Each structure stands twice: as structure tokens, then as C-alpha cells.
A and B are shown apart, each in its own frame.
Chain A
Amino acid sequence: MIELLWWVFAALAIGGGIAMLMSRTPIASLLFLVLTFFSLSAIYVLLGAYFIAALQVIVYAGAIMVLFLFTIMLLNLGHDYRNDLRGAGWIIVAFTTAGVGAWAVSRAFGVEGALVDLGGAERIDAAVTELNAVGAVAMPLFRDYVVPFELTSILLLVAIIGAVLLAKRRV
């Protein structure tokens, strides 16, 4: 059952990605990208990463997509039908090189048995039952990764200031 659901959502994710690349209007692209993000969130649930799945919906499908939507509507690009695809030759070259690259990377890791199983699944499931889905991620985050976590807040502060300064009319 889980396997079957995985294949359904993987097909939805890839289909949404291809449709995003091929649709002409930015709004349609954005909605297909939201489909991809929701399918990825479902795949995270199937992989047992419940907190990451919730974050995926809240941060990506919620915040970042609304930001894109605001920009498209602010710039009034909803009916921009100027063709921005490169020629068919470019499309074929792009898909071929990307496909060969994906094949080479996933061949290194995607072969059955290439990954050493260090018992991560059992440890994650034990941590989720003991500390809940949030606590299982929060405990290592605030114990082993405190400095990167604080640096993330500085990064977000710099991004806020930078975005306001860049989008302002006069500095």
C-alpha cells in the first residue's frame, strides 16, 4: 500500500515538474509547482519525516509560493504570452544533459545495496514515538546544531533587510 502510494505521488511530482517547465504562463507554472511540492510532502510522510512534511506545506506551499504569486500579480504578468522557451534544439539538449546527469548521480547512490544501512529508520521511529514528530527533529537541532541554527536567524535577518532595500523605490 505504502509502495503504491509512493509511486502515485512520485508520478504526480514528476508530472507537475514537467508541466511547470512546459506551461507558458507563470501562474500555471506556479500552480504545477505547488502540485509538485504537495506530492513531495506526501512522500516525506511515507518516508516517516512527519515534521518535515508539515514544514514543506507551511514554508514552501504556503509562504514561498504566496511570495511568487504576489510578485507575478504585482508585476501584472498573469497574461504575459510572450514565448520565453528557447528553441526545440535547446530543449532537447537540456533534457538530455540533465537526464544523463541524473542517471549518473542516481546510479552511484540509487543501486540497491549501495547505501549502508546504519539503522537510521529504527532510531528515527524510536525518537518519534518517544519525543513526538517535532521533538525528534528539535532535540538534535538545539543540542548538536545550535550554532548553525543561530546563524540561520542572522541569514534571515540579512535577507529581510536586503529584500526591503532592493524592492524600495528610493534608498
Chain B
Amino acid sequence: MITQSLWLSAILFGLGVAGVVFRRNAIILFMCIELMLNAVNLAFVAISRSVGIDGQVFVFFVMAVAAAEAAVGLAIVISVFRHTESVDTRDFNLLRW
């Protein structure tokens, strides 16, 4: 079950990457980043079945970073929305080039 879990983790991470590439809604981009962090968590838990409890301790840290990232990222989305009245990345590409 460890090896299948690693496969599942890789597939979920790939889904997150694909979402970041082809969606343009900033909130859904953040959801895809959360999905990628979850895929990493799954890999940590799966490997902890082979290496030891340290994998699960690392999952704890990843969750703390994910919570901080979601809070700050959504605050940025709110302040961008005040300027452009939109969360579509096509509408705030001012710093792109």
C-alpha cells in the first residue's frame, strides 16, 4: 500500500500542477496549491510507514505552512480585488513583463 500511495501522491501533485497551468481564477490557483501540499503530505505519511514516525512530524509542519500560506494568499486576493474588482489573473498582469 506504500507504493500505491506514492503513485496516488504523484497523480494528485500532477493534477495540482495542471490546474495552476490552465486555470485563471486566482482562488482556484490557491486551491490547486493546497492540493499539491496535500499530495506532499500523503507522500510523507506513506514513507513514514517505511522510515518511522518522523514523516508524520513533517506533515504537521507542512500543515502549519499551508495554513499560513492560505491566510496570507487570500488576504492578497482580497486586496487585489479591491483594486481591479476581479480575481481573474488576466485582469492584473501589470507586473508581468
User: Which residues of A approach B to under 8 Å, CB–CB?
Assistant: 2-3, 6, 10, 13-14, 17-18, 20-21, 26, 29-30, 33, 36-37, 40, 43-44, 46-49, 51-52, 55-56, 59-60, 63-64, 67-68, 71-72, 74-75, 77, 80, 82, 84-86, 90-91, 93-95, 97-99, 101-103, 105-106, 109-112, 114-118, 120-121, 123-124, 127, 136-137, 140-141, 144-145, 148, 152, 155-156, 158-160, 162-164, 166-167, 169
Contacts and interface: CB of A to CB of B under 8 A. Distances in A.
Contacts of B13: 98, 102, 105
B97 interface: no
B35 to A, nearest CB: 6
Interface residues of B, number: 70
Interface of B: 1-19, 21-25, 27-28, 30-32, 34-35, 38, 41-42, 45-57, 59-61, 63-72, 74-79, 81-82, 87-88
B57 A141 contact: yes
Nearest to B68: A159
B70 A68 contact: yes
A160 B79 CA distance: 15
B27 A77 contact: yes
A162 B22 contact: no
Contacts of A159: 67-69, 71-72
Contacts of B71: 67, 159-160, 162-163
A95 B11 CA distance: 10
Contacts of B10: 101-103, 105-106, 110
A24 B56 CA distance: 35
A112 B8 CA distance: 14
Nearest to B51: A120
Nearest to B20: A94
Q: Please provide the 5 A-B residue pairs with the shortest distance between their CB atoms, ordered closest to farther.
A: A159-B68, A98-B14, A102-B14, A106-B10, A166-B75
Given A117-B50, A123-B53, A40 B27 contact: no
A47 B70 contact: no
16 contacts: A6-B4, A10-B8, A14-B12, A33-B34, A33-B35, A36-B12, A49-B45, A59-B63, A67-B71, A71-B27, A75-B77, A84-B88, A111-B3, A141-B60, A148-B61, A156-B68
A116 B3 CA distance: 11
